[in-house]
């Protein structure tokens, strides 16, 4: 695991975008696993900026998103499909036919999970997976629990997640109670993983991710088992980790 310490969110975003750019340049037809939430927004902005300068080409890229709320249509402005259009897809030359996400309105959720799992398998897996970090150390919507599901599945969201994500909705009641998420297997089989985390609210989860016991009670801790993970985080998010692992600018552990 390589950890990069950024002084703030802007530096974190630039660094993460750098790694993603390298992937796109070296393999223009990469399968990118993408994430939503506030953490990757700056990274997407930076990628758009470099695209506008002519430095990046998304024309051969395939995107598979981690998760989607159940019950939200793609044109609902709280859906993750909408988020991706808003924050990345509509600003670059990615082919919309190559942008995939679970169907929040699927009538048969079980069949939708199988479809999405098979889709990722059919693409040959993920070249680079971008991840945010839930305050309870979830990745995608793989919530802490006794066991982790390996394939795409429907999750009952934890109260803490509903609370954390309610900041994007008019009220807590409006946050969907269920979501589809890519399973842990597709994430862990990604050939490269980039996790972004910023702010003090992520310090505990990031500590569990980097230094904690490997446990399904902290899904992000599984990343310790992956051999090509970049954690890009700001000083505030790394504050607890740094009590155990001194980090100048970057460190490989
Ligand atoms: C959500 C998403 C995750 C995301 C996490 C953190 O629950 N399902 O994919 O990483 O929240 O979000 P944020 O970056 O807004 O803190």
44 in Cβ contact with 21 (< 8 Å) = no
Q: Is the CB of 39 under 6 A from ligand 1?
A: yes
Judge whether 123 and 150 are in contact, CB under 8 Å.
Answer: no
Q: Is the CB of 132 under 6 A from ligand 1?
A: yes
pLDDT, tens digit, 9 for 90 and up, residues 137-147: 999 999 999 99
Q: What is the mean pLDDT of residues 192-214?
A: 98
* Residue range 101-106: mean pLDDT, rounded: 98
d(CA 216, CA 209): 11
Average pLDDT, the chain: 97
pLDDT mean over 77-87: 97
Atom of ligand 1 lying closest to residue 40 CA: 14
- Mean local confidence (pLDDT), 169-189: 96
Mutate to test the pocket of ligand 1, among 138, 154, 162, 195 (most ligand atoms within 8 A of CB): 138
**What separation in Å is there between the alpha carbon of 57 and the centre of ligand 1?**
27
- Evaluate whether 50 touches 224 at the Cβ level (below 8 Å): no
Instruction: Check if 104 has its Cβ closer than 6 Å to any atom of ligand 1.
Output: no
- pLDDT bucket at 227, cuts 50 / 70 / 90: very high
- DSSP letter at 226 equals -
Catalytically annotated residues: 67, 136, 138, 143
Nearest-CA residue for atom 10 of ligand 1: 132
What's the confidence (pLDDT) of residue 41? 98
Q: Check residues 168 and 129 and name the one with the higher pLDDT.
A: 129
Residue 181 CA, closest ligand 1 atom number: 8
Kindly report the protein residue whose alpha carbon is nearest to atom 1 of ligand 1: 37
CB 34 within 8 A of CB 63: yes
The percentage of the chain sitting over the pLDDT mark of 90, rounded to a whole number, equals 99
How far apart CA 66 and CA 137 sit, in angstroms, is 15
Centroid of ligand 1 to alpha carbon of 138 (angstroms): 8
Q: What is the pLDDT of residue 153?
A: 97
Region 11-30 average pLDDT: 98
Name the percent of the chain in helix, strand, coil, to the closest 5: 40, 20, 40
Q: Which residue owns the Cα nearest ligand 1 atom 9?
A: 140
Paired sense of beta strands 229-234 and 99-100, if any: unpaired
* Ligand 1 centroid – CA 44 distance (Å): 15
| Residue 246, pLDDT score | 95
Report pLDDT digits (tens) over 45-62.
Answer: 999 999 999 999 999 999
**Torsions phi, psi of 69, nearest 5?**
-70, 140
Phi, psi of 129 (to 5 degrees): -110, 120
- Please tell me if the CB atom of residue 67 comes closer than 6 angstroms to any atom of ligand 1: yes
Residues 6+ apart with CB under 8 A from 76: 82, 104
pLDDT at 216: 97
């Amino acid at each position: 695991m390589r950890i990069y310490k950024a002084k703030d969110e802007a530096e974190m975003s630039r660094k993460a975008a750098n790694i993603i750019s390298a992937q796109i340049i070296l393999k223009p037809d990469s399968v990118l696993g993408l994430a939503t939430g506030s953490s990757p927004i700056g990274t997407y902005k930076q990628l758009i900026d470099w695209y506008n300068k002519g430095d990046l080409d998304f024309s051969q890229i395939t995107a598979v998103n981690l998760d989607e709320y159940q019950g939200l249509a793609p044109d609902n402005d709280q859906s993750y499909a909408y988020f991706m259009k808003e924050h990345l897809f509509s600003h670059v030359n990615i082919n919309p036919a190559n942008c995939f996400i679970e169907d929040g309105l699927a009538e048969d959720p079980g069949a939708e999970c199988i479809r999405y799992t098979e889709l990722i398998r059919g693409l040959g897996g993920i070249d680079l997976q971008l991840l945010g970090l839930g305050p309870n150390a979830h990745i995608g919507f793989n919530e802490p629990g006794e066991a982790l599901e390996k394939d795409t599945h429907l999750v009952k969201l934890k109260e803490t997640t509903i609370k954390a994500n309610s900041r994007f909705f008019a009220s807590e009641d409006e946050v969907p109670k269920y979501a589809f998420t890519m399973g842990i297997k597709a994430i862990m089989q990604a050939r490269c993983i980039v996790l972004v985390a910023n702010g003090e609210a992520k310090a505990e989860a990031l500590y569990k991710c980097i230094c904690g016991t490997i446990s399904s009670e902290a899904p992000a801790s599984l990343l310790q088992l992956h051999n090509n993970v970049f954690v890009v985080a700001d000083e505030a998010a790394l504050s607890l980790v740094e009590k155990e692992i001194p980090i100048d600018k970057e460190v490989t552990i």
